[in-house]
Structure 1
Amino acid sequence: MDVVTLGETMILFVPEHTGPMRNTDRFTTRVAGAESNVAIGLARLGFQAGWISRLGDDEFGKKIRAFIRGEGVDTTRVIFDASADTGLFFKEKLAPGEWRVNYYRKNSAASRMRPEDMDESYIAGAKFLHITGITPALSEHCYETVLSAVEAAKKHGVLVVFDPNLRRKLWQEEKAREVLLELVSKADIVLPGMDEAEFLFGSGSPDQLARQFQKYGVTVVVMKLGKQGAYYSDQNFDGYVEGFEVSEVVDPVGAGDGFSAGFLSGLLDGLDLHEAVRRANAVGAMVTMAPGDVEGLPEKERLLNFVQSRSQGDVER
């Protein structure tokens, strides 16, 4: 296995019309979840990815597993829970470029994940463990589950990749900051956005904030800068990689997950840090050009063609 990840995936309802949900009675359903988005992105790029979670033993849970498994992701460690429901959320397009997301996930099956759900040998067989700051916010049991997964990874030399993926609605700011910094201290690679870095450390430039992460022992920091691209820093090099221009941003949700998948695929392909970040920028940009979280995730040939067809200027130091 190349990458193992864990977290909640839900059924996404999208109104067919722009405007508040009260004005529509027609919805399209999709499958969406930060960690499974990354797993699907990696599978489409030709890598082996495994996803760990709990789903309700209901039709939505069965739909989710079938979809993710159909994308080539290993779902053998997914547990169906007959005592809880699969989570749902709704995404409104209020106006061009203006989105609002409403979650219905309290007491969902995924929020009942427990440390005993983690198969140590399964995690030990991966090259990377990918985690986000969403899962530990779901419940105390989920927090303990993430720590259990990280402990297993550390024990077996599996690199831990952490995307803070801050969800302010899920917990109090003080608790969020405490837990996210704890996970930063356990990670080898951190992939924050600027807003998340500033939430943890206060205002600063990307290079200043990267150094704050590195004080916690992080080996590689890649700071997502939206359409401007990304800044990266490790023990030897740092630099900026400009973003890829797109003709139209159809749906920005999921771009960060695409970025993570692209970056990890670059490392797995043996690219240096600069080129891995370039690939991450490309996948993130491609995701924004399609509706939904995973619809824009490319396969390898399309990704390479996209990168080759666009010129960039970036700086390495």
Structure 2
Amino acid sequence: MDVVTIGESMVLFTPESSPLMKYAHTFSKKFGGAESNVAIGLARLGHQSGWISKVGNDEFGKGMVSFIRGEGVDVSQVTYSTTASTGLYFKEVRRSNDVRVEYYRKGSAASTLQPSDLDTSYIKNASYLHLTGITPALSESCYETIKSAISIAKQNGVTVVFDPNLRKKLWSEKKAREVLLEIAAQSDIVLPGVDEGFFLFGVDNPESLGQLFLDNGSSLVVLKVGAKGAYYFTKEESMLVPGFPVKDVVDPVGAGDGFAAGVLSGLLDGLTLEQTVLRGNAVGAMATMVSGDFEGLPDRLEIERFTKQLDMEDVHR
């Protein structure tokens, strides 16, 4: 297995008859979750990805697992709860820069994940373990599950990749800061946004943040700085890798997950760090051009067309 990830996916409802939820009479139903988005993005790029989670033994849960399996993700480690339901959330896209989310996930099946749900051999046979800061925010047992997964990875030489993916609605700022810094310190690679860096360290200068994350324990930091692109930092070198311009952002949700999938793909393919971050930037940009959390995630041919098209536009300017 190339990448194993752990986290909750939910049923996503988006208003169709009106952009405002309070006036909407019809909704589209999709699925969404940071970790499964990354797993789907990797599968589309030709990598083996596995998703560990728990869903309700209900029609939503069964439909979700079937769908994610159909995207090429291994779902053999997803279990069904007979006592808790699959989580839901509603996404209201008012404008490209005004997206509002309401969660209905408290007490969900995924929030009951616990260390005993982990198969040690499944994690130890992966090249990378991908985690986000969302899962430990769901419950104390989820937090313990993430700690256990990190321990398994560390004992077996599996590289731990962590995207803080801050969700302030899920826990107190004090607890979030404490846990996110703890997990980042145990991770080999961290993928924060500059806003998350500011939340954790109180500074927003990219160079300072890169050094702070390195000092905290990570060996590679890839810091997202919006449309400008992303920096990478190691103890030996650093660079700003420019982003790809997107004229019309349709839906920004999922861009960070696309970025993570692109970066992991580049690492798996043995690209240079600059090429790896460039791939992350490309996948993240493409994710914003389509409505939905993962619908815009490309395959390799689509990435190639996207980057070639931009190169040709530069030539003709």
TM-score range, shorter chain: over 0.9
Give the aligned partner of residue 158 of structure 1: 158
Give the aligned partner of residue 136 of structure 1: 136
* 1:279–1:307 contact (8 Å) kept in structure 2: no
Give the aligned partner of residue 180 of structure 2: 180
RMSD between superposed Cα atoms in Å: 1.1
* 2:150–2:160 contact (8 Å) kept in structure 1: yes
User: For 1:21 and 1:14, how far apart are their aligned partners in 2?
Assistant: 8
CA deviations 1:257-298 (Å, max 9, x no partner) are 000000000010110101000000000000000000110000
Is 1:241 paired with 2:241?
yes
1:75 partner letter: V
Q: Which structure 2 residues correspond to residues 48-59 of structure 1 after superposition, within 5 A?
A: 48-59=48-59
* 2:220–2:234 contact (8 Å) kept in structure 1: yes
1:237 partner letter: E
Give the secondary-structure state (helix, strand or coil) at the position aligned to 1:141.
helix
Q: Which structure 2 residues correspond to residues 53-92 of structure 1 after superposition, within 5 A?
A: 53-92=53-92
Give the aligned partner of residue 122 of structure 1: 122
Q: 1:204: how far off?
A: 3.2
CA deviations 1:108-150 (Å, max 9, x no partner) are 0000000000111000000000000000000000000000100
Q: 1:302: how far off?
A: 0.9
1:213 partner letter: F
* 1:93–1:100 contact (8 Å) kept in structure 2: yes
TM-score, scaled to structure 2: 0.97
Gaps of 5+ in 1: 313-317
Give the secondary-structure state (helix, strand or coil) at the position aligned to 1:215.
helix
CA deviations 1:46-99 (Å, max 9, x no partner) are 000000000000000001100100000000000000100000000112245321
Gaps of 5+ in 2: 313-317
Q: 1:18: how far off?
A: 3.9
Q: Structure 1 residues 95, 214: closer, same or farther in 2, change over 3 A?
A: closer
CA deviations 1:4-43 (Å, max 9, x no partner) are 0000000000000343212111000011000000000000
User: For 1:225 and 1:62, how far apart are their aligned partners in 2?
Assistant: 37
User: For 1:167 and 1:150, how far apart are their aligned partners in 2?
Assistant: 21
Give the aligned partner of residue 40 of structure 2: 40
2:299 partner letter: E
Give the aligned partner of residue 315 of structure 1: none
1:22 partner letter: K
* 2:194–2:204 contact (8 Å) kept in structure 1: no
Give the aligned partner of residue 315 of structure 2: none
Give the aligned partner of residue 171 of structure 2: 171
TM-score, scaled to structure 1: 0.97
User: For 1:2 and 1:136, how far apart are their aligned partners in 2?
Assistant: 23
CA deviations 1:157-178 (Å, max 9, x no partner) are 0000000000001101111111
Give the aligned partner of residue 198 of structure 1: 198
User: For 2:84 and 2:74, how far apart are their aligned partners in 1?
Assistant: 23
Give the secondary-structure state (helix, strand or coil) at the position aligned to 1:310.
helix
User: For 1:234 and 1:305, how far apart are their aligned partners in 2?
Assistant: 31
Q: Which structure 2 residues correspond to residues 8-47 of structure 1 after superposition, within 5 A?
A: 8-47=8-47
* 1:18–1:92 contact (8 Å) kept in structure 2: no
Between the two proteins, the alignment pairs up a number of residues equal to 312
**Runs (4+) of structure 1 moved beyond 6 Å?**
none
Q: 1:311: how far off?
A: 3.8
1:141 partner letter: S
* 1:18–1:95 contact (8 Å) kept in structure 2: no
Q: 1:231: how far off?
A: 0.8
Q: 1:305: how far off?
A: 2.0
